[in-house]
Amino acid sequence: MKARPVLIVLFLVSNITLSSGFVGVLAAAASYVFNRFFERDGLLPFDSKRLEADLNGSLFGQHIVSDVVLKSVTSFMTDKNPNKPLVLSFHGTAGVGKNHVAKIIARNVYKKGENSKHIHTFISEHHFPHKEKSDLYSAQLKQWIHGNVSSFPRSMFIFDEMDKMNPQLIDIIKPFLDYNARVDGVSFRNAIFIFLSNGGGNEIAKVALDFWKEGKDREEIRMNSKGLETKIFQNIFNDKNSGFLHSSIIDHHLVDHYIPFLPLELKHVRQCVLAEMVHLKMNRDDDLADKVAKEMPFFPAEEKIFSVKGCKSVRQKLVLQTDE
């Protein structure tokens, strides 16, 4: 690779011209060239077909998510001059794929996928456990986001367990999410923010159950069927226990999409078990997949249609079965 000679030349030239005032420009150019082409933990060339194939192959039962994520991420990643960062909010009950989809996006954006140092995940109860330290957390969070975006504009920030987050902390990030956001000379328009929460999960499950009771196909559910998207943000905006309570992020319409993750049915859990078999390098065993999936708890108590835990703990259940 010719990376080193180029960098050495740039470095030497920048030293020679130290007094001429070009050093800043050259250093910036060298850093740009390095980040763009040679950094191992850099960006992947974006390929919407690859993202589409990834979503089709590894995400089960989430047709709305697949559609909205593919369109919004593709349009953002291929826009040379976005007017705001990408801000997605994922909603749904437990184990339906919210973290899973954040990882799918990550591996389609960064060479190192979910392990990229450009992804910053905050889990409210872990990173911000003490309510009385909110001022300190706010200052740290602000500095962290600002510092990382200034050195790598296409940084990704994932806020997990948004329901448990202090609303004050969420509002601190508002300036970064805004249209044409520029804070202290740094532009945030290329950054990606993803919020994950169970907020609105019950409303989503209710809509899915209504469709089922009406004998309609699950795939007929749309982003705004029965006012779904509106129900989600009204719910989290008004919920006393939600980090989004009266949040200015919602008020100012800074979230691009509130994406509903539907509760998973038996056949989707079965697909998860089969995927785990591949992951664990086991031979495909459809009967075993059936057995493991059927052992999961389902709701509502009477109809038993949706998996209570989604695909969570499927791997652990599978391992138990194979030991028997």
Ligand X SMILES: Nc1ncnc2c1ncn2[C@@H]1O[C@H](COP(=O)(O)OP(=O)(O)OP(=O)(O)O)[C@@H](O)[C@H]1O
Known binding residues for ATP are 92-99
Least separation in angstroms between residue 17's CB and ligand X is 51
Least separation in angstroms between residue 98's CB and Mg ion is 5
Picked from ligand X, Mg ion, none, the partner binding residue 310 (CB below 5 to 8 A depending on kind) is ligand X
> Tokens 């943000």 sit at which residue?
233
Least separation in angstroms between residue 164's CB and ligand X is 11
Who's near 271: CB < 8 A, 6+ residues apart?
Answer: 60, 61
Picked from Mg ion, ligand X, none, the partner binding residue 198 (CB below 5 to 8 A depending on kind) is ligand X
- Which residue stretches of the chain are H helix? 3-16, 23-33, 48-58, 63-77, 98-109, 124-127, 134-151, 167-172, 174-177, 201-213, 228-238, 248-251, 266-279, 286-294, 314-323
What are the phi and psi torsion angles at 261 (to 5°)? -100, 120
Nearer to ligand X, 26 or 236 (CB): 236
Give the residues across from 196 on adjacent strands: 90
Give the residues across from 258 on adjacent strands: 89
Nearer to ligand X, 172 or 196 (CB): 196
CB 125 within 8 A of CB 161: yes
Query: Whose CB is nearest to ligand X?
Result: 97
Span of 93-101, 229-237, 259-267, 276-284 interacting with Mg ion by CB under 5 A: 93-101
Q: Which residues are annotated as part of the binding site?
A: 92-99
Task: Give the interface size with Mg ion as a residue count (CB under 5 A).
Answer: 2
Who's near 318: CB < 8 A, 6+ residues apart?
Answer: 273, 276, 277, 280, 288, 292
Instruction: Give the C-alpha separation, 159 to 98, whole Å.
Output: 11
Least separation in angstroms between residue 294's CB and ligand X is 17
Neighbours of 267 (CB within 10 A): 10
Nearer to ligand X, 200 or 310 (CB): 310
- The residue from 99, 121, 168, 234 that contacts Mg ion (CB under 5 A) is 99
Instruction: Give the C-alpha separation, 97 to 104, whole Å.
Output: 10
Picked from Mg ion, ligand X, none, the partner binding residue 26 (CB below 5 to 8 A depending on kind) is none
Picked from Mg ion, ligand X, none, the partner binding residue 60 (CB below 5 to 8 A depending on kind) is ligand X
Does 74 participate in binding Mg ion (rule CB under 5 A)?
Answer: no
C-alpha torsion 220→225→228→231, nearest 10 = -160
Nearer to ligand X, 189 or 312 (CB): 312
CA distances for 190 relative to 25, 70, 84, 142, 146, angstroms = 22, 17, 7, 17, 13
Least separation in angstroms between residue 158's CB and ligand X is 11
Picked from Mg ion, ligand X, none, the partner binding residue 138 (CB below 5 to 8 A depending on kind) is none
Q: Which residues of this protein are in contact with ligand X, per CB under 6 A?
A: 59-62, 92, 94-100, 196, 198, 264, 272, 310-312
Instruction: Give the C-alpha separation, 314 to 324, whole Å.
Output: 16
Least separation in angstroms between residue 125's CB and Mg ion is 12
Picked from ligand X, Mg ion, none, the partner binding residue 86 (CB below 5 to 8 A depending on kind) is none
Contact positions vs Mg ion (CB under 5 A): 98-99
